[in-house]
Amino acid sequence: MGNTKKRILAAVDGSVHSLEAVKYVGTLLPAEKVEVTLFNVKDKIPELYYDVEVNPEFHPTLGAFKEWALEEEKAVDEFMNKCRESLVENGVPGDAVTIAVRERRQGIARDIAEESRNGYDAVAVGKRGRSPLKDLVLGSIATKLIGKLTHVPLWVVGGRPRAGKVLVGFDGSEGAMAAVDYVGSMLGGSDAEICLVHVGRVLDIYRETYEVIFNSEETQKWLDEAKVQISSAMEKAKARLMDAGIPENRVKAKVITGKSSRAEAIVDEAKENDYGTIVVGRRGISKVEEFLIGRVGNKVIHLSRDAAVWVVG
């Protein structure tokens, strides 16, 4: 990790999910090498009035708004201090934690995205927000951020993940190598365990329809060549992680075959072996693959429960 501190933007909304995201950040990186900004987008009016405020006949009482604003400000202050305390308890120096509360401007996701351009190494959010109904109807803030944060990795934290074990979805592409380099830059010098996992495509489901193309001899030849290529790429990736300061005995690789769904295979592997962090890249081996990898990332986030999913691009 070198001597440069890693700057993490933790977007919080007062929910237990965002508090768990903060706790995850506090336990993931060496405490002396991290700076955290606790970022909250504050509503000017109660969410209940978003639609009716545009009605010129709607005139809420000034007293009601003042009372709501005071209570909301108090609740936000208490929650932000609680988040700060959780970081300090994990060894993060108090002066390395910044609290930033901003009034809503363009929208919560857009405001987070705007702040994220100020030199952060990652944006961390809870998988769900304070309002499950809002998440269901409008799409969660995390889901919106996946599409907006192409310039900085996004960490979507679900449940209470174990921070020290990391699974990296790996396909040998430049995007996958970039994700490996990012993991090394963030976790080098820590005691993290990292496993590179490649999920091969299953071809059996196509054989009946495309028997001429997928005959057994040609299929086996293709699989043998693919295995050699991915093994070589994995060795290079492992070397990069070790160069970044991760001990050789804490880096391993695994190839999974016979699976029709990459996302399901990755999530199952993480669950079975207690990997609390899953890393997926935005870009794959081609433009088509880039689109598919995006879908894989989304699916991994939705399928995983007690895990943090890093979307790196």
According to DSSP, residue 286 is labeled S
Q: What pLDDT shows up at residue 74? A: 87
Torsion of CA 300, 24, 1, 122, to 10 degrees: 60
Reading the chain (313 residues) residue by residue, the pLDDT tens digits are 456 899 999 999 888 999 999 999 999 988 889 999 999 998 765 554 544 444 555 555 555 666 766 777 888 999 999 999 999 999 999 999 999 999 888 888 999 999 999 999 999 999 876 555 444 333 478 888 888 888 999 999 999 998 889 999 998 888 889 999 999 999 998 889 999 999 976 554 444 444 545 556 766 676 667 778 899 999 999 999 999 999 999 999 999 987 888 889 999 999 999 999 999 987 554 444 443 445 667 788 888 889 999 999 8
Q: What pLDDT shows up at residue 122? A: 97
Q: What pLDDT shows up at residue 287? A: 46
Q: What pLDDT shows up at residue 193? A: 96
Q: What pLDDT shows up at residue 63? A: 59
DSSP assignment of 25-82 equals: HHHHS-GGGEEEEEEEEE-SS-GGGTTGGG-TT----HHHHHHHHHHHHHHHHHHHHH
CA nearest neighbour of 238 among 286, 282, 172, 163: 172
CB–CB of 117/151 below 8 Å? yes
- Alpha carbon 2 to its chain centroid, in Å, reads 23
